[in-house]
Every structure is written in structure tokens, then in C-alpha cells.
Amino acid sequence: MKLAALLLPLSLTTFMPGSAWPPAAAVSGRPVPSQVPRTQTAVGKIDSLMRRANELELFNGNVLVADNGKVIYSAALGFADASRKTKLTAQHRFHIGSIAKEFNAVGIMLLQEQGKLKLDDKVAKYLPQLPAWANTVSIRHLLQYTSGLPDVRWKTVKSDEDNLRDLMQLQKLDFEPGSNYAYNNNNVFLQRRIIEKVSGLTFKQFVEQRLLKPAGIKQAVVDPMEQDAFMARAYNQSRQQDPLTYPISGWTSVTLADFYKWEQAITGCKLIGPEATRAILIPVEPGKQAGLGRGSMVGNKVTEHIHDGTSSNYQALLVSNVSNGRTVLLLTNNKNNNLGKYNAAIQAILDGKPYVQPKKSVLRTFSTKLDSLDGRQLLTFYQTLRATKSQEYGFEEESTLNEIGYYYLGKSRTADAVVVFERNTELFPQSGNVFDSLGEAYYKQGDKPKALLSYKRALQLDPTNGTAKRIVAELDK
């Protein structure tokens, strides 16, 4: 049974199959008529999933879903800033956190293809003013996060100049280049400076001229400022708004349409060739990050591309499976640490499988109350909630207690965290993740025998857990 078309409010602008992408009305800020029948179609279920998430204040942002190479769903859900007066539209741009590091990674590979640099060149060749360690760090090390550089000193760095000054004063790396892995932003910072040195352009100019324009991206902004229109502003659960600018430069913000074009350019090898793409798509080892996040290739074709990013209260997720033309893009300016759950639900819907509806977070709703409860009291409160509010909160998910445990760990309440994690392993005895969390709490508590047992169990349940493998080897000694 089909229902008449529904005119959605601007905060819920929705694109449906059979329309051009991006929809002209959405780009102009006008509402778009929805053609979704209220039936159990995949599109209808995705629409219901995301609307419900927005109603529960679990998702505020923009979402796009493509299947079989065509955009089947897109929506702008919620508000553009902490005042919650301006509604999001398809025109709004979002910071995308670490996904913006793709632009410098692709830029490096583009210059390499043009013969203007080599990945095994040492940093000192392009930035000779740096100390002696720059003669041991290659561009490849920067791309793979194996340089040994420490992270940016975020508490004191306020500009590129501040950060470069810190690097000028750095006398020793954290480890020998290529011998270990440390994901941090100094690797990114130096990639951007090398691009500027080689190209003769500012990084902003390089991205605009050499990457965005060839990819057909017209709305993206590098390092947006207060005066830039249609910037979604990030804010926390207390409705405190984040600053728009960051201590170091080079961050590209995008609309959904931009994001999708960029993803198509990457998976279609439109900006750089397959060999160059492989170099920044496949991490040095499983569980690590490469310049494009992570992914896979068969021959010269990209088969999968996955990347997530977080910056203050902005979060973004990109999941693309090229074999079935499926892409899920999620952008939010109100972090809830749940984008992976929505992607999982959307993938299940598209596969015709059962999926989990969004539910509220116990931690988010009751964090003040949790501060007054010890671990045992928390479990009693949890059981009461579970008996009376099972439809509102995610008691069927291991993450509910796990995030409370980490909340206590973050407040140095290790004993309370142990109690919570122990209960979670009883509720979810086949989850390697909860045993990993318990092992971490035992380790911080100083109980290494119990930590070893927990990490061993985590490794049994999930043999790919690199952290558990490393700590088991350490404790077994």
C-alpha cells in the first residue's frame, strides 16, 4: 500500500530513489517531497531508523546511502548549531576529523606519480631546517604512521608556527622509524608541509586546485572560518558549542554531495592510479590505519574503503563496498559515538536481515547519577532500569555497560570499573571485546594475573586482537 507523498520539514530533508543527486531543492534549502511508501521496503526502514534516532536525540546530522551504484536515501536530520534554531540542510558542511587526512595522503601520492617526490625520500630533503632525525624519517614513514614522531602538543600549540617550532626543538624520536606504529597528527602535519614545499602552493590552494576541482567538488571548504555560510557547528550534550578552527591547519569540511564525490574519486582511482591508491589504502598491518583509513583491493580495483573521523563533537563515517556499489556516509555535529551502529543497521536492512533500532544511552542520560554510585550500586540501578525501561535503553548491547566502565576508568575509579566490566563478561561471555575491557581495568588496577587471564580469553574469542596479543606476550614474560 502506498501513501501520498509527504512534504518533510527542512530539518528532515530527504532524498529518495528515482531523483537526481544531489536533489536541487535540498541544495537550495527548500524541502524535498518524499516518495517513500510507508511499507517495509529497505528505504522505508532506513528512513524509520534514522528518524527514530533523531527523535531520541541519538543522531543529529546528515546521512547518505547508495546501493548498486545509485543514491537511494539521503537526509538532513536535526540542527546546525547549539542554539537548535537553525535546521540542517543538504548544503551544510561538516568537519570530518581524520578523514580529512585523506587529502594530504592523496596529495603526496599525486606528486609521487608526477615524479616530483619519492616515498623513500627523507623529510630533510624538503624540510632541511628540521633536526637530524629528519634524515632518518621517510615520506613513506609519515604515510604509514611509523615515523617515531610524537603527537602534536595540543595543550600548547595554537598555530602551524607553534607546531613547527616544537618539531625544530625535538631532539629524539619516540622510536626508530619503521620499527613501530603511532597514529598521530605530526605525521599529517609534515605531509602537508612537504606538499607545500614541492608544489609551491599553500596546502589550502593545493587541495582546492589539484584535488577538489578535478573531483568535481564545489562546496567543500579548507579550514572554514566563522564567516563561511552553511557550516554545521559541533556541540556537546550540554549544548556547548565547539570552536570552528583548529590549532594546526589543513582540514577540509564537506557536504554530503562532496563526500560522495570524493569517495567515488577514491574508489574509482580518478585522482591517483591503482598502485598509488594501494600504498595509502592498505595499512602496515591489520588493525592499523593508512592514509585512506583502511580497505582492500583485488588486482587494480578497490573493493572496500572504510574510514572514520572524530574532531571534538564532530564525527564522520565512510563505508564503501565497491562490489555491490554500496556506500554509507554519516556526518554528525553532535557526537554520540554510535555511527558504527547505524552503519551496521543500514547494512542489515539492505541485506534483508534483522537490525537493532536506536536506543538511548544509560551513560548519557544518567551520568550525573552515576557519579554518586559505586560499582555495586550501579549494577543494582542498572537492573532496575532493565526491568522497567527495556524499550528505551540498549540493554541487549554489550556497549551499554562497557561505556559506563570506561566512564569510571576515565575518572580513575578503577575498582568500580572492574565491577562493571566483570558483570559485562557474565552478560556477554562470547565477546572478546568485553574481556579485553576487563583486562585493561585489571591491568590499571595492578592485578596482572587477572589481567593476563582476561586478555587470554579476549584473544581466544578474537584472535585478531593485536592489543590483547601484545599484552599477553608482555605479561607472560
pLDDT digits (tens, 9 = 90+) for 263-285: 999 999 999 999 999 999 999 99
Q: What is the pLDDT of residue 395?
A: 85
Do the domain assignments include residue 72? yes
CA distance 465 to 469: 6
CA distance 118 to 122: 9
Q: What is the pLDDT of residue 22?
A: 52
Spatial CA neighbour of 202 closest among 139, 147, 255, 160: 160
Domain identity same for 160 and 268: yes
Domain identity same for 286 and 316: yes
Q: What is the pLDDT of residue 130?
A: 98
Cα 194 versus chain centre, distance: 25
Helices (H), ranges, 39-159: 42-55, 101-113, 139-144
In degrees and rounded to multiples of 5, residue 373 shows phi and psi of -110, 140
Evaluate if residue 193 carries a pLDDT over 50: yes
- Whole-Å CA distances, 445 to 334, 416, 457: 33, 11, 18
Q: What is the pLDDT of residue 396?
A: 85
Evaluate if residue 420 carries a pLDDT over 90: yes
Domain identity same for 293 and 215: yes
Q: Would you tell me how many other CB atoms lie within 10 Å of the CB of residue 52?
A: 14
pLDDT band, very low/low/confident/very high, at 224 (cuts 50, 70, 90): very high
315: three-class secondary structure by DSSP: strand
The more confidently predicted of residues 210 and 395 is 210
Do the domain assignments include residue 340? no
Q: What does the pLDDT average to over 60-83?
A: 97
Evaluate if residue 353 carries a pLDDT over 90: yes
Residue entry with cell 518533510: 8
Lowest mean pLDDT among 128-137, 319-328, 364-373, 417-426: 364-373
Q: What is the pLDDT of residue 157?
A: 97
Do the domain assignments include residue 353? no
* Mean pLDDT, all residues of the chain: 90
Q: What is the pLDDT of residue 7?
A: 27
Three cell numbers at 471? 599484552
Burial 452-477 (b: 16+ CB within 10 A, else e): bbbbbbbbebbeebeebbebbeebee
Do the domain assignments include residue 357? no
CATH of residue 426's domain is 1.25.40.10
Residue 280, C-beta contacts closer than 8 angstroms, at least 6 positions apart: 105, 106, 108, 109, 143, 290, 291, 292
Evaluate if residue 16 carries a pLDDT over 60: no
Spatial CA neighbour of 114 closest among 27, 206, 43: 206
Share of the chain above pLDDT 90, in %: 83
Evaluate if residue 30 carries a pLDDT over 60: no
Do the domain assignments include residue 347? no
Spatial CA neighbour of 395 closest among 371, 421, 362: 362
pLDDT band, very low/low/confident/very high, at 53 (cuts 50, 70, 90): very high
CA distance 88 to 296: 34
Q: What is the pLDDT of residue 358?
A: 81
184: three-class secondary structure by DSSP: coil
pLDDT digits (tens, 9 = 90+) for 382-401: 999 999 988 788 888 898 99
Q: What is the pLDDT of residue 237?
A: 86
Q: What is the pLDDT of residue 389?
A: 87
Domain identity same for 111 and 188: yes
CA distance 230 to 227: 10
Domain identity same for 230 and 212: yes
Domain identity same for 373 and 412: yes
Residues, the chain: 477
Q: Would you tell me how many other CB atoms lie within 10 Å of the CB of residue 121?
A: 15
For the chain, how many structural domains are there in total?
Answer: 3
CATH of residue 144's domain is 3.40.710.10
Q: What is the pLDDT of residue 368?
A: 87
Domain identity same for 106 and 175: yes
- Residue 288 belongs to domain spanning: 98-335
Evaluate if residue 450 carries a pLDDT over 60: yes
DSSP codes joined into one string, 402-459? HHHHHHHHHTT-HHHHHHHHHHHHHH-TT-HHHHHHHHHHHHHHT-HHHHHHHHHHHH
CA distance 267 to 69: 12
pTM listed for this prediction: 0.80
Residue entry with cell 527514530: 52
Amino acid of residue 461: L
Domain identity same for 298 and 433: no
Q: What does the pLDDT average to over 17-33?
A: 40
